Amino acid sequence: MGEVRAKRMPRAVRERQMLDAAVRVFGERGYRAASMDDIAELAGVSKPLVYLYLNSKEELFSACIRRESAALVAAVRAGVSGAGGADRQLWDGLRAFFTHTAHNPDGWAVLHSHARTGGEPFAVEVTAMREEIVAFVTGLIAAAAREAHGDPALPDREVAGLAQALVGAAESLAGWAGTDPSVTAKEAAATLMNFAWSGLGNLMEGRRWSPAPGA
Amino acid sequence: MGEVRAKRMPRAVRERQMLDAAVRVFGERGYRAASMDDIAELAGVSKPLVYLYLNSKEELFSACIRRESAALVAAVRAGVSGAGGADRQLWDGLRAFFTHTAHNPDGWAVLHSHARTGGEPFAVEVTAMREEIVAFVTGLIAAAAREAHGDPALPDREVAGLAQALVGAAESLAGWAGTDPSVTAKEAAATLMNFAWSGLGNLMEGRRWSPAPGA
Amino acid sequence: MGEVRAKRMPRAVRERQMLDAAVRVFGERGYRAASMDDIAELAGVSKPLVYLYLNSKEELFSACIRRESAALVAAVRAGVSGAGGADRQLWDGLRAFFTHTAHNPDGWAVLHSHARTGGEPFAVEVTAMREEIVAFVTGLIAAAAREAHGDPALPDREVAGLAQALVGAAESLAGWAGTDPSVTAKEAAATLMNFAWSGLGNLMEGRRWSPAPGA
Amino acid sequence: MGEVRAKRMPRAVRERQMLDAAVRVFGERGYRAASMDDIAELAGVSKPLVYLYLNSKEELFSACIRRESAALVAAVRAGVSGAGGADRQLWDGLRAFFTHTAHNPDGWAVLHSHARTGGEPFAVEVTAMREEIVAFVTGLIAAAAREAHGDPALPDREVAGLAQALVGAAESLAGWAGTDPSVTAKEAAATLMNFAWSGLGNLMEGRRWSPAPGA
DNA sequence: TATGAATGAGCCTTCATTCAT
DNA sequence: GATGAATGAAGGCTCATTCAT
């Protein structure tokens, strides 16, 4: 009965606690609906301390975005070995993506659902991250196109559109997997991979993509 | 000199004005950041009248979601002739979808960006609409599968995932088209159709889908 | 028992009440130390209403300054008949000044003590008022100089300094009269008139100024 | 690189630094708007040290008032030689006053602008100082009156009023000189001396006071 | 049908002040 | 002698909502 509030921790530790709490509350409620009181309470500190370390609600949210962006990008990059064909790399990246978002639903909600809503200041930060991922995927697709035939058969603009669609599909499936706990990261990745790589047309005819053995 | 505020209009008309204003303000600012004052002012009526007709901010937002949902679903249904194979129907639906969202950016923002953020009460309504669309797409895919071979080669669960991915890709492309005005609804639809129908694998090899002549 | 809070008054009346309360609280405590809560309570309304009508603490304070400035300048102008020599006009003006400040101590405190402190935005307004008074006095002094001999014997710069000194002396005496209730406006005016018109040198020698009979 | 914060200084030195910083910040911003953080930072020490030495914001402000009061009174006393007639002593005192305030604008602002605003506790201290100066001037005027004719021709009450006026005029001119840098201390003193000693009446007629040669 | 007048509640932010080392 | 860590208490401002007409 009664939280024993840990006292006098070094700044770095407290700051981490605050960011953890903030991601959780922002993720659950969104930027506007989240209150600094709630964040402070969840972090186990008083509100003035939050302000002392993170200056304002806006900066706190920015810090959340930056941290979660970096974590997500890092997770995807780490998941992609670099070996194998473009399909294999895409498969690896998707698995890492779905695994990370499934393990960090609030962080993902901050990035996907809330950051784009908050108007100017955050859109900048989150768009930057999203574009980093889109660029990554774009690179994979272009590389795949070069693999298939020496010249880039697909014009840049089309590649961009495809990457956009792929990322959107991934985001949507992440939401699906987040909602229904029986959907595993691997299943989501497989679904998307089939969809993206083989296309509905092929699927209709019973042809489907599957990772090379051992993946 | 100054706005002459029209007086004593029939209820239906006033209600429409209010919903128009609300969709605009909610779409631009999101649920929490939108204020009833702004909505009333944009609608050209006093705040108590808004409450008289629409009861609360929450109900007003719900009404917006319902109206925009219905409009979007209707537009997609209207776009699909029912004639032709599954691919043709999908193509028609996508074109209608992208055309409608491009013409109603605020309505689309309400549905896509903001309604999911607002917590419980709205999630219900928007999820309902989204699921209606997913069900529609699911039906198309299942029909296509039956066309290809008599038995449903794809299990329900997989079909659901595919529909989810397709809708997500469409949403993402709608955002893309909304951002960059040089992207037409038709181009967005074509990009998605290629992606979805042929799959990246086929595209890599130079095979692509294209609508039957006359579409 | 207890204040019956009058309800539903027309806006103009409420606004007056708010300004009255604000002048009182600002006058007693100064800009920073005054709280909007206190002002609202003294005005007998809720805080949001104060904001609805007067927008912000800063604007409220500005409105106070403007109202009290205008009242003071009007009182002084009204007190000066325009007839008689420069000394008589000065005498009339001083009496009006001391009478007004004695009757409106909070208004005077707002102008004299607090408005100069509040940084930029208010300094502008209050300096404008003060300069209006200084200009008025400056005009009187210059007129007197012309009366005495055709050419302006006193250079502008010196006249400005004298006016500054005179106004400062008046302000100081207003504070004195405000502190000690036995000092009447008339006595303060007489003291200052003697000081200013005859100078200490003459006073030392028993010569003093006095208003023409009937003043 | 960066401020090397001097450590372990004797108490007296640290206290001086703090008072210097406090006078500066209080002078620029006023009592309420000044923050202990700003003062501590400007003093180059941590906030707890300020509290260790000076106990509270109120006491710190009091200490500022006392120090600046003492310095001002000392400067004026030092400027008055004691030789010469009353007019000469007044002239010396005014010059010292204007010189000191011009050199210590923040200290002067603390005394003149801010200390009277802060309510009860400070009014006491600053009024004490002001009364010391008023008493000093009162003494001069009374002495002058005795010089002119053996018996005190002016009743005490009138002398008090005159002193009040004189001090007020001086304060006003100090503000004037502080605002316009082209106004020298000597010019301000001369303007006031003419005003006070000769009176506007005499000035109008071309008669003016001037210091005995050598002053 | 329509509105001017009004408010309870809450949120972001800051400040003077203290504790433990 | 000196400080990093921490907070209770307020203050400015806004918002959804209602009452009386």
C32-43: per-residue pLDDT in tens? 999 999 999 999
- So what's the pLDDT on residue D2? 41
Residue D198 identity (one-letter amino acid): S
C15 occurs within a structural domain: no
Rounded to whole angstroms, the distance from the CA of residue D42 to the C1' of nucleotide E17 is 19
- Shortest distance between the Cα of B90 and any Cα of chain A, in A, equals 11
D2 occurs within a structural domain: no
Chain D window 47-76, residues with Cβ within 7 A of nucleic strand F: 47-49, 52
Q: For the residues D122-141, what does the mean pLDDT come to?
A: 78
Residue D209 has pLDDT above 90, yes or no: no
Residue C14 CB lies within 7 Å of the nucleic strand E: yes
- So what's the pLDDT on residue D1? 43
- Identify which has the larger pLDDT, C160 or A39: A39
Q: How far apart are CA C133 and CA C169, in angstroms?
A: 13
Q: Using one digit for the tens of pLDDT, what is the confidence trace for B90-117? A: 888 888 988 998 899 899 888 887 766 6
- In the three-class reduction of DSSP (H, G, I as helix; E, B as strand; rest coil), residue C164 is classed as helix
The DSSP secondary-structure symbol of A208 reads -
Residue D3 has pLDDT above 70, yes or no: no
Least confident of A180-184, B2-6, B145-149, B164-168: B2-6
Least confident of A117-126, A161-170, D31-40, D144-153: D144-153
Query: Which residues of A, range 106-165, sit inside 8 Å of B by Cβ?
Result: 113-114, 116-119, 141, 144-145, 147-149, 153-154, 158, 161-162, 164-165
> C196 vs D199: CB contact, 8 Å cut-off?
yes
- Among C172, C198, C199, the residue with its CB nearest the CB of D167 is C172
What are the structure tokens assigned to C110, written together? 């707002």
Q: Considering its fold, how many domains does chain A have in total?
A: 1
Most confident of A195-204, B163-172, C41-50, D114-123: C41-50
Q: For the residues A184-213, what does the mean pLDDT come to?
A: 76
A141 occurs within a structural domain: yes
Residue A2 has pLDDT above 50, yes or no: no
- Identify which has the larger pLDDT, D179 or A120: D179
Q: How far apart are CA A165 and CA A77, in angstroms?
A: 20
Say yes or no: D209 contacts chain C, CB-CB below 8 A.
yes
For chain B, give the mean pLDDT. 82
- Shortest distance between the Cα of D159 and any Cα of chain C, in A, equals 9
- So what's the pLDDT on residue C1? 44
A123 occurs within a structural domain: yes
Q: How far apart are CA D97 and CA D111, in angstroms?
A: 13
> A202 vs B202: CB contact, 8 Å cut-off?
yes
Taking CA–CA distances from D188, the nearest residue in chain C reads C161
- In the three-class reduction of DSSP (H, G, I as helix; E, B as strand; rest coil), residue A32 is classed as coil
Predicted TM-score of the model (pTM): 0.88
CATH number at residue A76: 1.10.357.10
> D172 vs C167: CB contact, 8 Å cut-off?
yes
> B141 vs A200: CB contact, 8 Å cut-off?
yes
Residue C58 has pLDDT above 80, yes or no: yes
A17 occurs within a structural domain: no
Strands (E), D108-212: none
Q: For the residues A40-52, what does the mean pLDDT come to?
A: 96
Specify which residue's alpha carbon is closest to the C1' of nucleotide E20: A8
**Residue B133 — very low, low, confident or very high, per pLDDT cuts 50/70/90?**
confident
Q: How far apart are CA A79 and CA A74, in angstroms?
A: 8
A27 occurs within a structural domain: no
- Identify which has the larger pLDDT, D120 or D31: D31
C196 occurs within a structural domain: yes
- So what's the pLDDT on residue C177? 82
State the residue range of the domain holding A108: 61-204
Residue B66 has pLDDT above 70, yes or no: yes
D159 occurs within a structural domain: yes
Q: For the residues A58-70, what does the mean pLDDT come to?
A: 93
- Identify which has the larger pLDDT, B193 or A133: B193
Chain A window 40-79, residues with Cβ within 7 A of nucleic strand F: 45-49, 52
Say yes or no: D94 contacts chain C, CB-CB below 8 A.
no
Residue C51 has pLDDT above 50, yes or no: yes
> D195 vs C144: CB contact, 8 Å cut-off?
no
Residue A36 has pLDDT above 70, yes or no: yes
- Chains with at least 3 CB pairs less than 8 angstroms from chain C: D
- Helices of type H across A30-155: 36-43, 47-54, 57-79, 86-103, 105-109, 120-148
Q: Using one digit for the tens of pLDDT, what is the confidence trace for A132-166? A: 777 877 777 777 777 765 555 677 787 778 888 88
